[in-house]
């Protein structure tokens, strides 16, 4: 096992390969790993399908560098694309393709970003409040906390973190920054802890967890990108092609669920005796609701605990994807 592989255990690896494989039987099949990370899922797919080409998207150049080294065995069957995971067309263009046979999303923060202290994603270690997945982006968590209004900070914490004490935390941030800029994770954790009554805290959980999630989502525009990515992926997938998405919190899963459900049901009015082709479903749900990791996997890899996996297959072409 190489160094990169030893640092990262891919979540629900076998299930992802199982769900995507029926769409990858034809020579020259193309998969987009829209959240490349350290390349664990891409490696498994490339080894399972010797004729497969994988394009890996990541906004983190460090991740691309590590994954590219890990996947060197595949030669020109692997290509990397630096960008956000809604740039499906850009990724396809890297290998001269216009359609994908499979698309995989493993959402949220990567092991690489969590494990590197200077990235500021982890509330358990003191570090600069950065949280950028792409270090070339201008906005950091620290700059957001230093410049946004109390109302906007409260909105971010409430909507993206589902934090019930969002207003109290936002007020405390604005008051604190007047004399002491909040630039490190330890400062923010201490501030949030002081705002949340001990009786309401979840035992064994850091009270700043929701605040850190909310800031990370805001800094990286994750939900906006995800909404665009679902549209782009469904349009890019070929008939018979499959999309697998792993989400790690309810906001992500809700977006995925709605995007998949919209294509898996008829758009014809109730009671229509003959449903025209253009009103018939063009997606088939491959999972019953959202699947979870097994207890055995969670015991070996705690990062699998919150995962929710959904998958679909495109069953017919549509005007947009024709």
Distance between CA atoms of residues 203 and 218, nearest Å: 27
- C-alpha distances in Å from residue 279, one per residue of 261, 314, 315: 14, 15, 13
- Cite the residue boundaries of each domain of the chain with CATH code 1.10.150.170: 117-220
123 is in an annotated binding site: no
Q: What one-character DSSP code corresponds to residue 269?
A: P
Is 8 known as a binding-site position? no
Biggest alpha carbon–alpha carbon distance for the chain: 69
Round to whole Å and give the CA distance between 257 and 236. 18
Find out whether 39 is annotated in a ligand binding site.
yes
Q: 117-220: what fold?
A: DNA polymerase; domain 1 (1.10.150)
Asked if 104 and 32 touch (Cβ cutoff 8 Å), the reply is: yes
pLDDT value for 292: 97
Beta bridge partners of 237: 100
Q: What is the pLDDT of residue 111?
A: 60
- How far apart (Å, rounded) are the C-alpha atoms in residues 311 and 291? 9
Are 222 and 254 in contact, with CB atoms under 8 Å apart? no
CA dist., res. 249 & res. 194, Å (int): 25
Confirm whether residue 106 is marked as ligand binding.
Answer: yes
Q: What pTM value is reported for the model? A: 0.89
> What per-residue confidence (pLDDT) applies to 321?
47
pLDDT of residue 198: 85
The C-alpha atoms of residue 183 and residue 157 are separated, in whole angstroms, by 17
> Residue 104 pairs with which residues in a beta bridge?
33, 244
Query: What CATH number belongs to 3-112+224-314?
Result: 3.40.50.150
Selection from 49, 58, 59 nearest residue 29 by Cα: 49
Contact status, residue 176 vs residue 182, Cβ threshold 8 Å: yes
Note the pLDDT tens digit of each residue in 176-215.
999 999 999 999 999 999 999 988 887 878 899 999 999 9
Q: Which helix (H) or strand (E) holds 152?
A: helix 150-161
196 near 165, Cβ under 8 Å? yes
Q: Exposure string (b/e) for 260-283, b if CB count within 10 Å is 16 or more?
A: beebeeeeeeeeeeeeeeeeebbb
Cα 119 to Cα 126, 160, 161: the distances in Å are 10, 20, 19
Token duo for residue 4: 């990169």
Helix (H, G, I), strand (E, B) or coil at 197: coil
Residues 6+ apart with CB under 8 A from 295: none
Per-residue pLDDT of the chain (322 residues; tens, 9 = 90+): 455 555 568 999 999 999 999 999 988 999 999 999 999 999 999 999 999 999 999 999 999 999 999 999 999 999 999 999 999 999 999 999 999 999 999 997 766 556 566 676 778 888 999 999 888 899 999 999 999 999 999 999 999 999 999 999 999 999 999 999 999 999 999 999 999 998 888 787 889 999 999 999 999 999 999 999 999 999 999 999 999 999 999 999 999 999 999 999 877 677 677 767 777 899 999 999 999 999 999 999 988 999 999 999 999 998 654 4
The answer to whether the beta carbons of residues 187 and 112 sit under 8 Å apart is no
Query: With contact defined as beta carbons under 8 Å apart, do 263 and 282 qualify?
Result: yes
What was the pLDDT predicted at 202? 79
Separation in Å, CA 110 to CA 106, 159, 258: 9, 22, 24
Cβ-count burial 224-258 (b if 16+ within 10 Å, e if not): ebbebbbebbbebbbeebbbbbbbbbebbbebbbe
85 a known binding residue? yes
């Amino acid at each position: 096992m190489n160094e990169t592989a030893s640092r990262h255990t891919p979540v629900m690896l076998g299930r992802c390969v199982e769900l995507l494989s029926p769409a990858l039987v034809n020579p020259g099949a193309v998969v987009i790993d829209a959240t490349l990370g350290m390349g664990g899922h891409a490696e498994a797919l490339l080894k399972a399908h010797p004729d497969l080409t994988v394009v890996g998207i990541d906004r983190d150049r460090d991740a691309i560098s590590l994954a590219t080294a890990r996947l060197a065995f595949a030669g020109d069957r692997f290509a990397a694309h630096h960008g956000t995971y809604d740039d499906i067309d850009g990724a396809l263009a890297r290998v001269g393709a216009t359609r994908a046979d499979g698309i995989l999303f493993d959402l949220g923060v990567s092991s690489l970003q969590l494990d590197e202290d200077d990235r500021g994603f982890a509330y358990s270690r003191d570090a600069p409040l950065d949280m950028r997945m792409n270090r070339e982006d201008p906005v950091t968590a620290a700059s957001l906390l230093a410049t946004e209004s109390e109302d906007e900070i409260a909105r971010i914490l409430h909507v993206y973190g589902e934090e019930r004490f969002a207003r109290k935390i936002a007020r405390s941030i604005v008051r604190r920054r007047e004399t002491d800029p909040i630039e490190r994770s330890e400062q923010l954790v201490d501030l949030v802890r002081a705002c949340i009554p001990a009786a309401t805290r979840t035992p064994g959980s850091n009270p700043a967890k929701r605040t850190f999630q909310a800031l990370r989502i805001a800094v990286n525009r994750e939900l906006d990108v995800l909404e665009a990515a679902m549209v782009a992926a469904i349009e890019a997938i070929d008939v018979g092609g499959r999309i697998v998405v792993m989400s790690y919190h309810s906001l992500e899963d809700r977006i995925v669920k709605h995007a998949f459900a919209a294509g898996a049901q008829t758009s014809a009015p109730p009671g229509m005796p003959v449903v025209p082709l253009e009103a018939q479903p063009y997606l088939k749900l491959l999972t019953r609701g959202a699947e979870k990791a097994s207890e055995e996997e969670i015991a070996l890899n705690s990062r699998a605990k919150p995962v929710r996996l959904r998958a679909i297959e495109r069953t017919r072409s549509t005007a947009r994807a024709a």
